[in-house]
Structure 1
Amino acid sequence: MGDQGKKWITCTLFLAMTMSLINGDINSIQLNDDVLGLIVFKSDLSDPSSHLDSWNEDDDSPCSWSYVKCNPKTSRVTELSLDGLSLTGKIGRGIQKLQHLKVLSLSKNNLTGNIIALSNNINLQKLDLSHNSLSGQIPSSLGSVSSLRYLDLTGNSFSGTLSDDFFTNCSSLRYLSLSHNHLEGQIPSTLFRCSVLNSLNLSSNRFSGNPSFVSGIWKLQRLRLLDLSFNSLSGSIPLGIFSLHNLKVLHFQRNQFSGSLPSDIGLCPHLNRVDLSFNRFSGELPRTLRRLTSLSHLDLSNNLLSGDFPAWIGDMTGLVHLDFSSNDLTGKLPSSVGNLRSLKDLNLSKNKLSGEIPESLESCEELTNVQLKSNGLVGSIPDSLFDLGLQEMDFSGNGLTGSIPRGSSRLFESLTMLDLSRNSLSGNIPGEVGLFNHLRYLNLSWNHFNTRVPPEIEFLQNLTVLDLRNSKLIGSVPADICDSQSLQILQLDGNSLTGSIPEGIGNCSSLKLLSLSHNNLTGPIPKSLSNLQELKILKLEANKLSGEIPKELHELQNLLLVNISFNRLVGRLPSGGVFESLDQSAIRGNLGICSPLLKGPCIMNVSKPIVIIPNTYGNGNNNEGIAGSQARSGSRHSHRGMFLSVSVIVAITAAILIFSGVIVITLLNASVRRRLTFVDNALESIFSGSSRSGRSLVTGKLVLLNSRSSRSSSSSQEFARNPESVLNKASRIGEGVFGTVYKAPLGEQGRNLAVKKLVPSPILQNLEDFDREVRILAKAKHLNLVTIKGYYWTPEMQLLVSEYIPNGNLQSKLHEREPSTPPLSWDVRYRIILGTAKGLAYLHHTCRPTTVHFNLKPTNILLDEKYNPKISDFGLSRLLTTQDGNTMNSNRFQNALGYVAPELECQNLRVNEKCDVYGFGVLILELVTGRRPVEYGEDSFVILSDHVRVMLEQGNVLECIDPVMEEEYSEDEVLPVLKLALVCTSQIPSNRPTMAEIVQILQVINSPVPHRVLDSF
Structure 2
Amino acid sequence: MVAALVGRTALKFAALLLLWSVSPLVRSATNPSDGQALGILYISLNSPPQLTGWSESGGDPCGESWMGISCDGATVTAMISGLGLNGSLGYLLSDLLSLKILDVSNNRLQEPIPYQLPPNLSYMNLAQNNFSGNLPYSISNMVSLVYLNVSHNSLSQSITDFFVGLQNLSELDLSFNNLTGDLPISLSSLSGLSKLCLQQNNLTGPVDLLTNLNLTTLNIANNHFNGWIPKDFSSIANLIIDGNSFSNNLSFPTSHPTPTPTLPRYDHNFSLPAKPLQGSAVQPLYTVYPRNKKKMTMGALIGIVIGSLSGALIAAIAVVFSLHNVCKDSKSQARNSSAPLSIFADKDTNQEMQEQMNKSPTSLKFPPAKKLMVDNMYGNNCLLRRLKFPITATSYSVSSIQAATNSFNQEYLLGEGSLGRVYKAEFSFGKVFAVKKIDNAALSLQEEDNFLEAVANMSRLRHPNITGLVGYSAEFGQRLLVYEYIGNSNLHDLLHTYDDRSKGLNWNARVRVALGTARALEYLHEVCLPPVVHRNLKSANILLDEELNPKLSDCGAPEFAMSGIFTVKSDVYSLGIVMLELLTGRKPWDSCRAISEQSLVRWAIPQLHDIDALSRMVDPSLNGIYPAKSLSRFADIVALCVQPEPEFRPPMSQVVQLLVRLAQRASVIRRTSAEEIGISYRIAEETGSETSS
Identify the structure with the greater strand proportion. 1
Which category of TM-score, normalised to the shorter sequence, fits these structures?
Answer: 0.3 to 0.5
Whose radius of gyration is greater, 1 or 2?
1
TM-score, normalisation: structure 1: 0.27
Question: Which is bigger in relative contact order (C-alpha 8 A, separation at least 6)?
Answer: 2
Identify the structure with the greater helix proportion. 2
TM-score, normalisation: structure 2: 0.39
